[in-house]
């Protein structure tokens, strides 16, 4: 507007000066409507304004119109021949096709609201535009309208001032589809971004479903099958080749399931072994009871009663040992481990074994190979259960030793572990039975000792050692070399190894 005002020409023959009028003007005040002007007159020359207008709007498709103070149109950028070219909408006489009607309906729906309707007014009706009327009063004004095609048109009008006098108004307006094209372009850009984001989300969902949800679902189904069919071994899917959480979960479930099945099998085997061991004394007891009424003399009756008493004691011993073995795991899990002084424990057990002897004329000697008398050989564990292991080993060694023999127990350090060695002077253990002696109900005693033991002592000892993170094994002590050049067996040796803190 300033550039247009600067291009206005001076009409010297139209200048009339009223000194009183000029003196009455306040600072910043301008002349209003042309009928009130009695001072300076600078009319807008279209020939001089056209190049300026052409330069201002040529980079854009904006339409520019200049109105004189009376609202008459002086210049319209659409009428600048050989300068600007605009694609005008088709004549209203031509009906739009289906695609155009659909586009108009969409634009009308998107632009729905309280926007006023835009209509083209004649060149002499510039004041019919509210923004132009306000601009001729010295105020800037903008308007947003919608044409008949549903297109948004934004217009703005500003006054053309020179020497604080309003010489006209400049109105700039967009073409019918300018705003819609920009909005459509932005919407398409948003749709493209949304489409790409949706595609990425779908791909990620498929990837997650195939790499995470699918394997987890298979693991869950397998775990449910294990729960419902506990008697049937169900294979858990193996994803351990994956180096992620799914692989770790698969490995943990497989290990847990294997431990569960092994536990179930151990319980079933234990139940079968118990039934078998209980059946033997019950069969003997039944035979003795059935034969007792048929005894012809007191000696026969006494022998049968002795058999009955022996079988009853054997049953009582079996049931007690079975009960102890069945409670062992639960007790070890409930109780917390505490430091155990093995020196004091072994000293006490050796003293008790020498005092009781349990019908065996065998002495027990203890020896400690450590860091001195102050070395307590302390290990974390349950003192009562560790004492049970040592008592079982001492009892076995005494029972297999000859009268007047000795049982030697040695406690020493072996690197980061503590070893307890129990040696006897008995016949030793057959090589094929070195592992079997730790099986449940296994016994390899002389005929005179049959029925005196349940065969669970060493099995319970092994179970206790495994719960303490230790080991127990059997071996034979080598004696003198015989005439055949092979070493004889000097006795049996049981070794217990416990981790030391």
428 and 501 share one domain: yes
Q: Of the ranges 32-46, 178-192, 434-448, which is most confident?
A: 178-192
Q: Which of 76, 12, 78, 81 is nearest to 43 (CA)?
A: 12
Q: Which of 161-165, 218-222, 248-252 has the lowest mean pLDDT?
A: 161-165
Find the helix or strand (DSSP H, E) in which 412 lies.
strand 406-414
434 and 485 share one domain: yes
Q: What is the CATH number of the domain that holds 124?
A: 3.30.450.20
361 and 222 share one domain: no
Cβ count within 10 A of residue 7: 20
For residues 284 and 294, what is the distance between their CA atoms, to the nearest angstrom?
16
- Is residue 393 within 8 Å of residue 494, measured between CB atoms? yes
| Last residue within a domain, chosen from 229, 260, 291 | 260
211 and 156 share one domain: no
Token couple for 113: 């609201």
345 and 488 share one domain: yes
Count the domains in the chain: 3
Domain that holds residue 347: 335-501
216 and 363 share one domain: no
- Is residue 411 within 8 Å of residue 346, measured between CB atoms? yes
For residues 410 and 272, what is the distance between their CA atoms, to the nearest angstrom?
37
Mean pLDDT of the chain: 80
Residue 327 lies in a domain: no
| Residue owning tokens 């009781």 | 356
357 and 248 share one domain: no
| Last residue within a domain, chosen from 228, 260, 292 | 260
Residue 49 lies in a domain: yes
- Is residue 41 within 8 Å of residue 14, measured between CB atoms? yes
pLDDT at position 212, please?
85
For residues 26 and 24, what is the distance between their CA atoms, to the nearest angstrom?
6
158 and 192 share one domain: no
Q: Tens of pLDDT along 368-399?
A: 987 777 777 889 998 888 999 999 899 888 88
| Last residue within a domain, chosen from 260, 291, 312 | 260
Q: At what angle do helices 457-467 and 298-334 cross, to 10 degrees?
A: 0
| Residue owning tokens 């003293």 | 351
Strand order in the sheet with 73-76: 73-76, 63-67, 165-173, 152-162, 141-146
Q: Which of 122, 123, 127, 118 is nearest to 46 (CA)?
A: 123
Residue 301 lies in a domain: no
pTM metric for this prediction: 0.53
Residue 291 lies in a domain: no
pLDDT at position 445, please?
65
Residue 311 lies in a domain: no
79 and 165 share one domain: yes
55 and 202 share one domain: no
72 three-class SS: coil
Residue 326 lies in a domain: no
Residue 271 lies in a domain: no
244 and 343 share one domain: no
Who contacts 385 (Cβ-Cβ below 8 Å, separation ≥6)? 328, 331, 332, 464, 467, 468
Half-sphere exposure of 133 (CA within 13 A, CB side): 6
203 and 83 share one domain: no
Q: What is the CATH number of the domain that holds 499?
A: 3.30.565.10
Residue 140 lies in a domain: yes
């Amino acid at each position: 507007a300033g550039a247009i005002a600067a291009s206005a020409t001076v009409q010297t023959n139209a200048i009339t000066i009223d000194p009183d009028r000029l003196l009455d003007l306040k600072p910043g005040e301008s002349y209003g409507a042309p009928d009130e002007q009695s001072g300076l007159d600078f009319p807008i020359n279209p020939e001089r304004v056209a190049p300026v207008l052409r330069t201002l709007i040529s980079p854009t498709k904006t339409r520019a119109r200049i109105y004189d103070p009376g609202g008459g149109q002086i210049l319209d950028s659409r009428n600048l021949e050989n300068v600007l070219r605009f694609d005008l909408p088709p004549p209203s006489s031509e009906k739009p096709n289906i695609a155009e009607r659909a586009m108009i309906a969409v634009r009308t729906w998107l632009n729905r609201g309280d926007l006023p309707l835009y209509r083209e007014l004649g060149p002499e009706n510039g004041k019919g535009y509210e923004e132009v009327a306000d601009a001729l009063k010295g105020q800037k004004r903008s308007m947003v309208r919608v044409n008949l095609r549903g297109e948004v048109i934004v217009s703005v009008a500003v006054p053309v001032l020179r020497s604080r006098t309003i010489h006209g108004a400049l109105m700039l307006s967009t073409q019918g589809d300018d705003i819609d094209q920009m909005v459509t372009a932005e919407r398409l850009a948003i749709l493209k971004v949304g489409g790409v984001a949706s595609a990425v989300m779908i791909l990620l969902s498929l990837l997650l479903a195939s790499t995470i949800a699918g394997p987890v679902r298979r693991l869950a189904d397998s775990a449910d099958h294990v729960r419902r069919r506990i008697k049937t071994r169900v294979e858990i899917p193996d994803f351990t080749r994956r180096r992620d959480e799914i692989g770790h979960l698969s490995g943990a479930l497989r290990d847990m399931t294997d431990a569960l099945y092994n536990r179930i099998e151990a319980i079933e085997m234990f139940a079968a072994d118990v039934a078998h061991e209980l059946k033997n004394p019950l069969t003997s007891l039944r035979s003795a009871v059935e034969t007792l009424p048929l005894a012809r003399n007191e000696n026969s009756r006494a022998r049968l009663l002795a058999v009955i008493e022996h079988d009853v004691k054997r049953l009582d011993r079996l049931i007690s040992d079975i009960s102890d073995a069945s409670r062992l795991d639960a007790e070890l899990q409930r109780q917390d481990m505490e430091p155990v002084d093995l020196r004091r424990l072994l000293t006490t057990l050796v003293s008790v074994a020498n005092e009781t002897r349990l019908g065996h004329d065998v002495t027990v000697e203890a020896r400690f190979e450590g860091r001195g008398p102050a070395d307590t050989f302390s290990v974390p564990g349950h003192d009562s259960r560790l004492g049970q292991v040592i008592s079982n080993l001492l009892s076995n060694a005494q029972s297999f030793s000859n009268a007047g023999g000795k049982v030697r127990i040695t406690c020493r350090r072996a690197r980061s572990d503590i070893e307890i060695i129990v040696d006897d002077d008995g016949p030793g253990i057959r090589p094929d039975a070195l592992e079997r002696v730790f099986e449940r109900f296994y016994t390899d005693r002389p005929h005179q000792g049959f029925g005196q033991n349940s065969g669970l002592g060493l099995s319970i000892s092994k179970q206790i050692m495994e719960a303490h993170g230790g080991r127990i094994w059997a071996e034979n002590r080598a004696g003198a070399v015989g005439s055949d050049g092979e070493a004889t067996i000097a006795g049996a040796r049981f070794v217990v190894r416990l981790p030391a803190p």
